[in-house]
Amino acid sequence: MEKVTIILERKQPHFKAVSPLCTVSNALSRMNCENTDYLIVMDEDENFLGIITEHEIASKSLSAKMPAWQTMVKQIMNTHLPVAFTEDTVDDCMRRMQQHHVKIMPVFEGHTFKGVVTSEDILHEAVWHRNEIFDREKEMVRH
């Protein structure tokens, strides 16, 4: 199976990042503008700190009745995610995501943040390879 780096290579090279000092309402606006349901939380030195998702906002901010315009991202971001490493396979990532019931996983090379893999990315990868397998089988049948 392919390494997780193949997914990162297909994704856009920039991160959808937000500061931990950003308000939740600004983070939600940014998610809406970028058509995403998560943002990567990074400090001013571009170090990975965590991830904020619509789920965190709904479950932590709204349920605690914390006003989105007064709540900072650092107060509700998820910092306890399982991680993947660039040498992991897509299967490894999928299993780890299922085991920990997460849809997003940060990827590191050593201690360097390289990007995120989502359950949607893994689904796209599976479909990509399914098409390659079917194309190969069709070629074999023709010959």
At 51 the pLDDT is: 96
CATH number of the domain that 68 lies in? 3.10.580.10
Query: Which domain, by its residues, includes 16?
Result: 5-142
Q: What is the pTM of this model?
A: 0.81
At 26 the pLDDT is: 94
The SS3 assignment for 96 reads helix
At 84 the pLDDT is: 96
Residues for the chain: how many in total?
A: 143
User: What 8-state DSSP symbol labels residue 88?
Assistant: S
Number of domains present in the structure of the chain: 1
At 131 the pLDDT is: 60
At 48 the pLDDT is: 95
- pLDDT, one tens digit for every residue, the chain (143 residues): 688 988 898 887 677 899 999 999 999 999 999 999 999 999 999 899 999 999 888 888 767 677 888 889 999 999 999 999 999 999 899 999 999 999 999 999 999 999 999 999 988 887 877 665 455 555 656 65
Structural tokens at position 72: 């900072």
Residue 112's DSSP bridge partners are 109
Q: Give the span between the Cα atoms of 6 and 104, in whole angstroms.
A: 16
Residue 50's DSSP bridge partners are 41
Strand runs (DSSP E) across 7-142, as ranges?
A: 17-18, 38-42, 48-53, 84-85, 104-109, 112-118
At 93 the pLDDT is: 92
Residue 72's DSSP bridge partners are 23
